[in-house]
Amino acid sequence: MEHESSILYAPVNKLWHSVQHSFAWDIPDHVVMALLVLLISAIVFPLMARKISREKPSHFQQMLEVVVSGLKDLLRDIIGHEGDRYLYIIGSFAAFIFISNIFSLFFFLQPPTSNPNTTFGLAVCAFLYYNWQGIRTQGIVHYLKHFMGPVLLLAPLMIPIEIIGHLARILSLGMRLFGNIFGEHAATGIFMGMLPFILPWPMMGLGIFGAFLQTFVFIMLLMVYIAGATVVEEH
């Protein structure tokens, strides 16, 4: 069965309460796991950057180059020639979500993305980012004109519809990622508890595929939203 908390939840909170006595609340487990993802990223990626070699690239470096090249191609296809400027933010979302999802493969960890607080936090960040890029690229007046629709007379009707549609993107991004990772993690825990010596390897393969797929869907939708917000129509 799925564990209620990760192996780090108790020791981290014990340390937390030992260094402060003003707050009685515990640090939530999904926050502990999210901080672990950030810690892993802060350690692993700089170490990998030091080992980058043009003459003798490692197999892992070659794999990363394929991933980065694929992201660049997607950005250029969806957003256009300006797509490369969004590589870092898209890559950051992808790395955080993928590593978080991969935690579901380890019984002693909990994927942060199986908690709606994490997924909706990511969705809100994505929402604010693409709207900010739209305002930055087109200017606030021209960007807000898109909410009015093609005909000025329809503006009172179109503005609420557009606002609801954009806010629904937060729900879509957050619920899709949370629902899939939570369901997959729970199902994996149940089946591995029933047949621990038969299912682990196939379920791990399915878990890796699910982690990749959900990461891809999230960043793909974010690219589409950025493209819709930043592409200036020519008149």
- Cα torsion at 89, 71, 204, 186 (round to 10°)? 40
Residue 3 within any structural domain of the chain? no
Residue 4 within any structural domain of the chain? no
Contact 229, 131 (CB under 8 A): yes
The number of folded domains in the chain is 1
Q: pLDDT at position 88, please? A: 94
Residues of the chain with confidence (pLDDT) below 50:
1-3, 234-235
Q: pLDDT at position 192, please? A: 63
Q: pLDDT at position 154, please? A: 81
Residue 235 within any structural domain of the chain? no
Residue 2 within any structural domain of the chain? no
Contact 105, 172 (CB under 8 A): no
Residue 193 within any structural domain of the chain? yes
pTM of the model: 0.88
- Other CB atoms within a 10 A radius of the CB of residue 187 amount to 14
Residue 58 within any structural domain of the chain? yes
CA distance 112 to 36: 10
Residue 1 within any structural domain of the chain? no
- Other CB atoms within a 10 A radius of the CB of residue 15 amount to 11
Residue 29 within any structural domain of the chain? yes
Q: pLDDT at position 2, please? A: 43
- Domain residue limits at 178: 9-230
